[in-house]
Amino acid sequence: MIHSLFLINSSGDIFLEKHWKSVVSRSVCDYFFEAQERATEAENVPPVIPTPHHYLLSVYRHKIFFVAVIQTEVPPLFVIEFLHRVVDTFQDYFGVCSEPVIKDNVVVVYEVLEEMLDNGFPLATESNILKELIKPPTILRTVVNTITGSTNVGDQLPTGQLSVVPWRRTGVKYTNNEAYFDVVEEIDAIIDKSGSTVTAEIQGVIDACVKLTGMPDLTLSFMNPRLLDDVSFHPCVRFKRWESERILSFIPPDGNFRLLSYHVSAQNLVAIPVYVKHSISFRDSSSLGRFEITVGPKQSMGKTVEGVTVTSQMPKGVLNMSLTPSQGTHTFDPVTKMLSWDVGKINPQKLPSLKGTMSLQVGASKPDENPTINLQFKIQQLAISGLKVNRLDMYGEKYKPFKGIKYMTKAGKFQVRT
Amino acid sequence: MTDSKYFTTTKKGEIFELKAELNSDKKEKKKEAVKKVIASMTVGKDVSALFPDVVNCMQTDNLELKKLVYLYLMNYAKSQPDMAIMAVNTFVKDCEDPNPLIRALAVRTMGCIRVDKITEYLCEPLRKCLKDEDPYVRKTAAVCVAKLHDINAQLVEDQGFLDTLKDLISDSNPMVVANAVAALSEIAESHPSSNLLDLNPQSINKLLTALNECTEWGQIFILDCLANYMPKDDREAQSICERVTPRLSHANSAVVLSAVKVLMKFMEMLSKDLDYYGTLLKKLAPPLVTLLSAEPELQYVALRNINLIVQKRPEILKHEMKVFFVKYNDPIYVKLEKLDIMIRLASQANIAQVLAELKEYATEVDVDFVRKAVRAIGRCAIKVEQSAERCVSTLLDLIQTKVNYVVQEAIVVIKDIFRKYPNKYESVIATLCENLDSLDEPEARAAMIWIVGEYAERIDNADELLESFLEGFHDESTQVQLQLLTAIVKLFLKKPTETQELVQQVLSLATQDSDNPDLRDRGYIYWRLLSTDPVAAKEVVLAEKPLISEETDLIEPTLLDELICYIGTLASVYHKPPNAFVEGGRGVVHKSLPPRTASSESTESPETAPAGAPSGDQPDVIPAQGDLLGDLLNLDLGPPVSGPPLASSSVQMGAVDLLGGGLDSLMGDEPEGIGDTNFGAPPAAVTTAAAPARLGAPISSGLSDLFELTSGVGTLSGSYVAPKAVWLPAMKAKGLEISGTFTRQVGSISMDLQLTNKALQVMTDFAIQFNRNSFGLAPAAPLQVHAPLSPNQTVELSLPLNTVGSVMKMEPLNNLQVAVKNNIDVFYFSTLYPLHVLFVEDGKMDRQMFLATWKDIPNENEAQFQIRDCPLNTETASNKLQSSNIFTVAKRNVEGQDMLYQSLKLTNGIWVLAELRIQPGNPNFTLSLKCRAPEVSQHVYQAYETILKN
């Protein structure tokens, strides 16, 4: 099982270590540093690194490497999922997960890590339970603790630990009972030169924020549940009900959680809400190239496309760009060759465009690679797959909760090849 | 007010100050001090000197302080065992605390302290906690047994904790069950023989129930445990599958992959006709696709596993090609894996799409990725024949880009395409030659040189091209040098008149000025060949090359099956069985897929056309350069040598002979020209090199040496011939005694007969006839006994046979009924011929064919035999078998056992595939035979036995 955990910052300092079995010397991280050096970018460090006696599994989040050390055959996904959970927990506890914050809260971090694993076996990873065991620091509590000398360690066995609904604590009380659901869909797509779709898929999630008193039992039904044929549920969802009735039935965790994530890959269901017209030409002989892109809406179901940004990694041979946008602002970093254009809203009557010239290295040959255009955008009040929630019902409690549902479509990895 | 204050140090000395604070009377101060100590510990500072002071703080009712002290203890107890004893009393007391949280905490912490004296005190509290009324304590205690086992396995067994732990599998609380399973699995890993997880249908049922209710981590433990269970029939397998399938929709990817493992394994037992089988296949695709939308590190592990799944059951993901398309900002390790799987899934149906993508990738920025993409195009060409033309034109387009590394990579793969489709795309050679100057990588240079040599006759200025390479011969890498040597020899054999000088130059460069033994040896062999027998040289060097086929990087079926059992583990990431890399290899149990149940076996369809992708340790499409020398020696030189094949020395000896003798003849009395080809003699420098080699090496003529060497390797000696046996005793045939045997020499079978006249009268008018038999054996010529056979005279003759006679299945299969006639009467006898005379010379299957065929032949056709008391080592066994036309296709070492994969072909075209397992030091071999006509297996086995034992 998981032996040890090292947290390493981007400059290569180990700033925290935790061992769940015997102590593993931090020199084991040297193998990690070697791999890090070989991979030019932090994102490219391989997630599994073998060393003579151990295996290092790492994830890179918030500019921190979380490196787990294992010694025997352990499912790597198990370790990686656990590391993700560590990151989420830190974020949950401290608001942000960063080196200074972890250092500031090192004792809490250490206590939390100790609760999360026992002898390398996961013990309590649900944030509900952890928060009952180790209270997250708040300014108020710190002050109170200093004055009264009380502790931030719970001395009662968390109720959720052993119940059949480990994700929910008992005795939850709210004056305003509310349940909000956000349906967020991200479109991942590759569009080729000619504008036709190479691949397109939707990664959707339903995130919930449920603040309800007691033990509410919720059901959520959809207008068109058939869309969801590839889904992953939060453990609270009763799978049998879904299989037979296509209804989500669950006792929700308290607070924020991801109820479900789904995947729509059938091409005909994935509408592409924007298009990009581009003409980028590097002329062989002269040292000037032409650059022009236009962004326009397409299949956006009458909703406004907003928050549009365009980024593109230009070839090395591009020295500078002199461009004029019809709207928004743009920057070009001549060192990293990164062009970014913050477009804002798309007005279908007056399509935003960015055009101008590129100055190329004199005498150098035409760049080999074509830049890929990366697109970000948002469409409020629309789930592009057409998914619609029908109704939300609550059983088991008497009060009337306030319910809300929001839809949003975003670009995920949306790439246009040129 | 943050914890970072704990890091501030004072000038006086941190330890000193902390000590004072720890001993303070004020509770709050104490706690702050302990926090400071813990903070120092987390960043790796050594604060073990404070041990006694920290332990003193342990007795407190403040839970946080207690926890902090415990944290400290776990880290440092080992370095201060004597001091740690001080803590025991508090632990024991805490184990009795009314608060379950404290009981659990105490037992949990005690287990983490790896000090013998503390462990002794742990037993009693642990026993109580395992039976505690509170499930939280029980589940903590279960893990504690695993901890204790790690420290002192004997103690755990003596105290009977293992049985208690087993009982916990039936606990009412699912979390306790999950932890008990996890603990038992961990213990079992270090004790593979112990039957700890003895699963039966009842316990499986318990686990399946717990599976629905426990935490995600518990689900992983339970699923991994389930995967080790062997259902008794397909019905049980199906019912487990049904209950596991909902896990595929879990948000935790590790749960999903563990569920996939269980399903992939148990699916093996389900009949393909079953509706459920099809449903299950369909259900497997979406979760795998979903894994690919997760974070990159999860994707990576998922992709490595999908790579296995795609090889085992390509049908699952065959429609999902697009999800493997690469996004330009994927991390490189994800990109490379995706590319691999794309090629495995490539088929005629989607090749156009794949090629378009690959071409796109070839213009990306990342050099490694671009190279692999170009290679992938070549692999598509080799895999999907219909696409070859499009691939070649794509590659040409890429060459036109003149991007250096793209060109080089393209040339390397075009070489492979030439080998797969000879005489089809040579028109592109001109374009390739234009890029000669830009090649600076050894592999690309070697590939280009190979192309020039191979097609020398079509390239007008081949000699100039090769000469230009020759200039910097010594600066080239070995790979290029070897290739250049071979290419120039090829060129010489094709255009002897213009290139004599060139070939002499390269031979002398290779033999005299090089320190590389491979290069020298190959130089000498060519030199000797050219000087003694140019015709033979032509046959050897310009021999038709075996076609390369499909993909080579498929994982061997047995290994693949094993790896499927390890889906989701490190083994699946490395594509190696765990014993190959897991630390200590503490006797990892060998896992295998369950056998398909009888009812379903017949439905196994041969559709699993495997796809492939390269991974470093798999063989290359074309044998590595280093192997070519070996290949050269192994080449069949045609007719057997009439010379005395006496005492064929070992291979090494042969090599020494070759060197010594070869030099000798090269250096011989005729300094100006040996043979008709008129080679200049190597200058004096060689003598020094030759001198040590010649020591002890018998000096004999080069020619016989060379052949001696080949016969040592064993291609020429012909099949094993059994001693003659009496087939027809004189008593039964009125005085005619016939004894005989069967032989096979270079493709022809003959019956060696010895006729003895034991009668008192002269025998004449001999004739022979065979009854119809299983393989259509028939005399190819009449029986010719030239002179009458007088009394007491014996005549030996050899009757050539062919296999074009009429066929009738005999019982036993190799039964041959013969009628012999002479002037006295007609006599009948029957004999059994050894099957190996029917093994033909071209019975060597290519590796890929072998893999595919092996997979293709249903398992029920597999027969296993034991060959006892055969004291041969692998090498000799393989050589022996090869001389009887049983060819070793591949060899692998598994856990110290040698596995020989062999093929042979019978005269009627039936292929027999064999796996011969040889354990060094064990004279009993295990032979598994697979053949579409399983009735021959028994006889093939007998042939093996005869050959190996004689």
* C-alpha distances out from residue B794 to B99, B123, B754, Å: 104, 89, 7
**Per the CB < 8 Å rule, is A122 touching B217?**
yes
Residue A401 has pLDDT above 50, yes or no: yes
- CA B356, CA B418: separation in Å to the nearest integer? 22
Contact at 8 Å (CB) between B71 and B63? Answer: no
What's residue A156's pLDDT? 62
**B363 close to A (CB below 8 A):** yes
**B491 close to A (CB below 8 A):** no
Confidence of residue B192 (pLDDT cuts 50, 70, 90): low
Q: ipTM of this model? A: 0.80
Give pLDDT tens digits for A24-80: 888 899 999 999 888 878 888 899 998 888 899 999 999 999 999 998 888 899 999
**A11 close to B (CB below 8 A):** no
Residue type for position B165: L
**B272 close to A (CB below 8 A):** no
**B678 close to A (CB below 8 A):** no
What's residue B590's pLDDT? 62
Give pLDDT tens digits for B299-334: 999 999 999 999 989 889 988 888 899 988 889 999
**B453 close to A (CB below 8 A):** no
Query: 3-class DSSP state for residue A69?
Result: strand
| Termini Cα distance of chain B | 87
User: The tokens 């004997």 sit on which residue?
Assistant: B154
Of B197, B193, B194, give the one whose Cα is nearest residue B181. Answer: B197
- CA B89, CA B86: separation in Å to the nearest integer? 7
**Per the CB < 8 Å rule, is A263 touching B290?**
yes
Virtual CA dihedral for B1, B6, B9, B14, nearest 10 degrees?
Answer: 140
Query: 3-class DSSP state for residue B624?
Result: coil
Query: 3-class DSSP state for residue B150?
Result: helix
For chain B, give the percent of residues with pLDDT over 90. 7
Residue B678 has pLDDT above 50, yes or no: no
Tokens found for residue B647: 């005492």
For chain A, the maximum distance between any two Cα atoms, rounded to a whole number of angstroms, is: 78
Name the β-bridge partners of A411.
Answer: A187
- CA A311, CA A373: separation in Å to the nearest integer? 6
**B286 close to A (CB below 8 A):** yes
Most confident of A410-414, B155-159, B837-841: A410-414
**B258 close to A (CB below 8 A):** yes
What's residue A80's pLDDT? 93
Please tell me which residue of chain B has the smallest CA distance to A190: B327
Nearest to B63 among A126, A155, A368 (CB): A155
Angle B62-B67-B70 from CA coordinates, rounded to 5°: 125
- CA A122, CA B140: separation in Å to the nearest integer? 11
Nearest to B583 among A71, A192, A372 (CB): A71
**Per the CB < 8 Å rule, is B328 touching A372?**
yes
Residue B728 has pLDDT above 60, yes or no: yes
**A51 close to B (CB below 8 A):** no
Strand A197-211 with A255-264, pairing: antiparallel
What's residue B12's pLDDT? 53
Give the burial class of B624: count Cβ atoms within 10 A of its Cβ; 0-12 exposed, 13-18 middle, 19 or more buried: exposed
| 3-state secondary structure string across B882-922 | HHCCCEEEEEEEECCEEEEEEEEEECCCCEEEEEEEECCCC
Nearest to B143 among A119, A229, A260 (CB): A119
Confidence of residue A154 (pLDDT cuts 50, 70, 90): low
**Per the CB < 8 Å rule, is A415 touching B328?**
yes
- CA A95, CA A88: separation in Å to the nearest integer? 10
Dihedral pair phi/psi, residue A320, rounded to 5°:
-155, 165
Mean pLDDT of A341-352: 90
| 3-state secondary structure string across A378-408 | EEECCCCCCCCEEEEEEECCCCCCEEEEEEE
Give the burial class of B170: count Cβ atoms within 10 A of its Cβ; 0-12 exposed, 13-18 middle, 19 or more buried: middle
Name the β-bridge partners of A409.
Answer: A185, A379
Interface of B with A in 773-832 (CB under 8 A): none
B896: left (phi over 0), alpha (psi -120 to 50) or beta: left
What's residue B513's pLDDT? 81
Dihedral pair phi/psi, residue A73, rounded to 5°:
-65, 105
Range with the poorest average pLDDT among B322-331, B496-505, B589-598: B589-598
- CA B898, CA B892: separation in Å to the nearest integer? 6
Contact at 8 Å (CB) between A373 and A330? Answer: no
- CA B316, CA B283: separation in Å to the nearest integer? 9
- CA A31, CA A48: separation in Å to the nearest integer? 11
Interface of B with A in 560-619 (CB under 8 A): 568-571, 573-574, 578, 581-583, 588
